[in-house]
Chains A and B, each alone.
Chain A
Amino acid sequence: MRIICPNCGERDRREFYYVGDAVALERPAEDADLAAWDDYIHNRENPAGVTQDLWYHEMGCSAWLVVKRNTVTHEVLSAELAADVKGAGA
C-alpha cells in the first residue's frame, strides 16, 4: 500500500502511522448533546468500501493527512493535508 503525501509524493505505507477515523476532525460543539459526544468519542463506522482515516507521516514530513481509501480493494483514493481540510493552516 502506498500513500501519495501532498508534501513528499508517493511513499511506502511503512512511513505512515494510522491514527483512526477522520471523524476526529469533526469535534461537536461544546453544548452538543450527549449522543453527539458519544458518537464522536466511541462510535465508528466499519464500512466495506470507501472510508476516511487520519494518517500521520511519522517517518516523513510529520504532516497529518486525511486519506480516503477503499477497504475492499485496498485502493488509496486521495490524501490531503489535515491542516488544509480543517482550514487551520498550521
Chain B
Amino acid sequence: MVDIIAKTPCEGLLPLTIGTTTVTEVPPSMMTSVAPYKGCEKALSTVLKSTHGIAAPAPGRATGKEGARAIWFGQRMILLMGPVPDAALAQHAALTDQSDAWAVVRLDGAGAAEVLARLTPIDLRDGAFKRGHTARTELQHMMASITRLGSNSYQIMVFRSMAETLVHDLKTAMQSVAARNG
C-alpha cells in the first residue's frame, strides 16, 4: 500500500519575509470555476446570491470575503473560493473543480505594490487597482490572477506546477525592493 501524502503547492517554500513584505500560502480551500451558459449570467448571479450570499463579480472585480469569495477569472468565468458549490449553480453554469490546480499566496506589508510592480505590467496605483479589484495578467511569464485584498495586501494565484517559480520570482523582487529601501 502506498502512503499518499497531501502537500500544499508551496509546502516547504513559504512563509517568507524580506524587508517589510511577507508572502504566505493561503490555506487550501475548495475552488471551483463557474462558467455561465449562454444567456444564463443573470440567473447565475441570482442563484449565487441566494445560495452563497455573494454577488457575481463584474469583470475585474472580486466579491465576498475571506472564506467565501468570488473572483472574476477571465472571459465568462468566475472562480468561487471557499464553499462547496451549491448544486443549483450547475443549472446555469459549467462547474469545474480547481482546488488542486492553483498555487494561492498572499503578499502583505508596506511596499507590496512595489514588489508586484517588478513582476507584472498592470497599473497597480491606488486609483487604478483598488481593494476588491482583480486582474488576470502575467507575472513574469506566468498566467496569474492578482486580487487586491487590502491597502498592502494582495492575493496571487498561478498554476500549481509553477509554485516554485512564483516563490522564486517574488523572493527576487522582495530582495531588490528591500535593498533599494534599505
A60-B121 contact given A8-B60, A15-B137, CB 8 Å threshold:
no
B121 touching A62 by the CB < 8 A rule?
no
B75 touching A11 by the CB < 8 A rule?
no
The residue on B at minimum CB distance from A88 is: B38
A12 touching B121 by the CB < 8 A rule?
yes
Question: CA–CA, A12 to B59, complex, Å?
Answer: 18
Interface size bucket, A side?
Answer: 10 to 19
A9 close to chain B: CB less than 8 A = yes
A11 touching B121 by the CB < 8 A rule?
yes
- Interface size of B by CB at 8 A reads 15
Q: Which of B39, B60, B74, B143 contacts A9 (CB 8 A)?
A: B60
The residue on B at minimum CB distance from A64 is: B75
CB-defined contacts of A41 to chain B, threshold 8 Å: none
Least CB distance from A27 to B in Å reads 20
A89 close to chain B: CB less than 8 A = yes
B164 close to chain A: CB less than 8 A = no
Q: List A68-90 residues whose CB lies under 8 Å from chain B.
A: 81, 83, 89-90
Q: Which of B38, B59, B77, B138 contacts A59 (CB 8 A)?
A: B138
Enumerate the 5 nearest inter-chain pairs by beta-carbon distance, A residue then B residue, closest first.
Answer: A59-B138, A63-B75, A12-B121, A61-B74, A7-B59
Measured CB to CB, the residues of A under 8 A from B are 7-9, 11-12, 14-15, 57-63, 81, 83, 89-90
Measured CB to CB, the residues of B under 8 A from A are 38-39, 59-60, 74-77, 121-122, 135-138, 143
